[in-house]
């Protein structure tokens, strides 16, 4: 499949910046709480801190020394570790930023004006496909990697939370339209599935934006049959090259394609 990296880069141009913050020092207490759960975490004094932090920063405006840094980055490997981080954060009063693949335009998954920790879901990326049921459970740290969007590096944690548009949208709707269940950690560290959370909350987490209603651990998505042959191509045209005519034509032709 050919991906247009140019379109990916264009999207990075609409951005904003964020002011300084003063860091409070309750993170020792947080780390103490965390250490009871034997989790892997990184503080700024750890030599891996910068590379872990920078790894999924997609908006380079926030890859500077001026950008406010987290006090701790936690990289849970299981649902129960995520629960423990949330419980510690709640107990200590620590602000949490959740990061899946870091494509947030405003850096909201790894920048904050108040002292904060990052829960980075990099290690939660298991995908379980049920062929007979035509469904899959996808952990939130996975990247989309298929035409749910134009960029394969986008994370499902943020992408599905915001709706998610892609090349199959005209026929199948948004990514969010194809989600049939989810596992969410709420502010009390409780894991809720669709039945537990109820239809209102389930509706809200599919388009209402990430980091708003809780931490999504995984999504259950409907799978679609894909024809044996799929053709994907990118065509670059300017207005001078009669782009307008082309789009006009395409609008008539596209809906009639197989």
Residue 76 lies near ligand FAD (rule: CB under 6 A): no
Question: Smaller CB distance to ligand FAD: residue 76 or 157?
Answer: 157
Percent of residues in the chain assigned helix, strand, coil, to nearest 5: 35, 15, 50
Spatial CA neighbour of 52 closest among 106, 117, 138? 117
Residues of span 230-249 touching ligand NAG by CB under 6 A: 241-242
Question: Smaller CB distance to ligand NAG: residue 43 or 135?
Answer: 43
How many other β-carbons are positioned within 10 Å of the β-carbon of residue 190? 14
| Separation CA 99–CA 105 (nearest Å) | 13
Q: In the set 6, 13, 25, 47, which binds ligand NAG (CB under 6 A)?
A: 47
Residue 30 lies near ligand NAG (rule: CB under 6 A): no
Question: Smaller CB distance to ligand NAG: residue 123 or 135?
Answer: 123
Residues in the chain: 258
Going by their DSSP bridges, the two strands 116-120 and 179-185 should be labelled as unpaired
Partner whose footprint covers residue 145, from ligand NAG, ligand FAD, none (CB < 5 to 8 Å by kind): none
CB-count burial class (<10 Å; 0-12, 13-18, 19+) for 110: buried
Question: Smaller CB distance to ligand NAG: residue 48 or 128?
Answer: 48
Q: Do 157 and 183 touch, CB atoms closer than 8 A?
A: no
Query: How many residues sit in the footprint of ligand FAD (CB under 6 A)?
Result: 34
**Distances in whole angstroms, Cα of residue 245 to Cα of each of 7, 240, 242:** 21, 10, 5
Spatial CA neighbour of 145 closest among 161, 127, 172, 132? 127
Question: Smaller CB distance to ligand FAD: residue 31 or 144?
Answer: 144
Site string for ligand NAG, 173-212 (x = CB under 6 A): -------------xxx------------------------
**Taking the mean position of all CA atoms in its chain, how far away is CA 94?**
21
Partner whose footprint covers residue 97, from ligand FAD, ligand NAG, none (CB < 5 to 8 Å by kind): ligand FAD
Site string for ligand FAD, 135-164 (x = CB under 6 A): -----x--------xxx--xx-xxx-xx-x
| Separation CA 88–CA 213 (nearest Å) | 18
Residue 38 lies near ligand NAG (rule: CB under 6 A): yes
| Separation CA 17–CA 13 (nearest Å) | 12
Residues of span 38-67 touching ligand FAD by CB under 6 A: 58
Q: How far is the CB of 160 from ligand FAD (least distance, A)?
A: 8
Site for ligand NAG, rule CB under 6 A: 37-38, 40-42, 46-48, 54, 60, 63, 186-188, 241-242
């Amino acid at each position: 499949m050919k991906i247009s990296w140019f379109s990916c880069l264009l999207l990075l141009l609409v951005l904003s910046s964020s002011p300084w913050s003063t860091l409070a020092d309750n993170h020792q207490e947080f780390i103490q709480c965390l250490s009871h759960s034997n989790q892997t975490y990184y503080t700024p004094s750890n030599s891996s801190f910068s590379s872990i932090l920078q790894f999924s920063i997609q908006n380079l405006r926030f890859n500077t020394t001026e950008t406010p840094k987290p006090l701790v980055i936690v990289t849970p490997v299981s649902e129960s570790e995520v629960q423990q981080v949330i419980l510690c954060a709640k107990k200590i009063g620590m602000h949490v930023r959740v990061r899946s693949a870091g494509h947030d335009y405003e850096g909201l998954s790894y920048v904050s004006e108040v002292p904060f920790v990052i829960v980075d879901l990099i290690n939660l990326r298991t995908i379980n496909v049920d062929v007979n049921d035509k469904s899959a459970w996808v952990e939130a740290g996975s990247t989309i990697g298929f035409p749910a969007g134009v960029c394969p590096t986008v994370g499902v944690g943020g992408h599905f939370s915001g709706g998610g548009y892609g090349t199959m949208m005209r026929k199948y709707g948004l990514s969010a339209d194809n989600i049939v269940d989810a596992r969410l950690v709420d502010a009390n560290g409780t894991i809720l599935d669709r039945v537990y959370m109820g239809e209102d909350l389930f509706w809200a987490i599919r388009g209402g934006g990430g980091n708003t209603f809780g931490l999504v651990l995984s999504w259950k998505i409907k799978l679609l049959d894909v024809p044996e042959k799929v053709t994907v191509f990118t065509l670059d045209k300017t207005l001078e090259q009669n782009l307008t005519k082309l789009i006009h034509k395409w609008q008539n032709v596209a809906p009639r394609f197989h």
